[in-house]
């Protein structure tokens, strides 16, 4: 049995560049963590804009539970990159 197809997620925010990394070290020499477009959008809506997970889900066209899962993953990736000096590489379509 194959998993359900991923529901299309509406993302309005734009990436500011290709990656976010510690200064002084070339990207090629850093361990890289991929941050997907929907993960960045969930962070933007909940943590920057202050929306509830329910409100963010409505904006992105997914359930509150999906937002909760996405944002948990995104926060873990971000915390790992910041605390361990890794690069966050932005992955996803550039609308």
Tens of pLDDT, residues 34-89: 999 999 999 999 999 999 999 999 999 999 999 999 999 999 999 999 999 999 99
pLDDT of the residue at 75: 98
Dist CA 46 CA 49 (whole Å):
6
pTM for this prediction: 0.80
In this predicted structure, the answer to whether residue 6 has a pLDDT above a threshold of 80 is: no
What Rg value do the Cα atoms of the chain yield, rounded? 14
CATH no., domain 36-91: 1.10.10
Domain boundaries, the chain: 36-91
pLDDT of the residue at 2: 58
Q: Beta 19-20 vs 32-36: how paired, if at all?
A: unpaired
CB neighbours of residue 87 within 10 Å: 21
* Contact (Cβ atoms closer than 8 angstroms) between residue 11 and residue 78: no
């Amino acid at each position: 049995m194959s998993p359900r197809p991923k529901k299309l997620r509406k993302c309005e925010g734009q990436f500011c560049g290709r990656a976010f990394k510690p200064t002084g070290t070339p990207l090629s020499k850093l361990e890289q963590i991929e941050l997907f477009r929907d993960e960045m959008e969930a962070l933007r809506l909940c943590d920057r804009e202050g929306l509830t997970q329910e409100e963010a889900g409505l904006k992105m066209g997914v359930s509150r539970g999906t937002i909760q899962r996405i944002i948990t993953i995104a926060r873990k990736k971000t915390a790992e990159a910041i605390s361990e000096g890794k690069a966050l590489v932005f992955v996803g379509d550039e609308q």
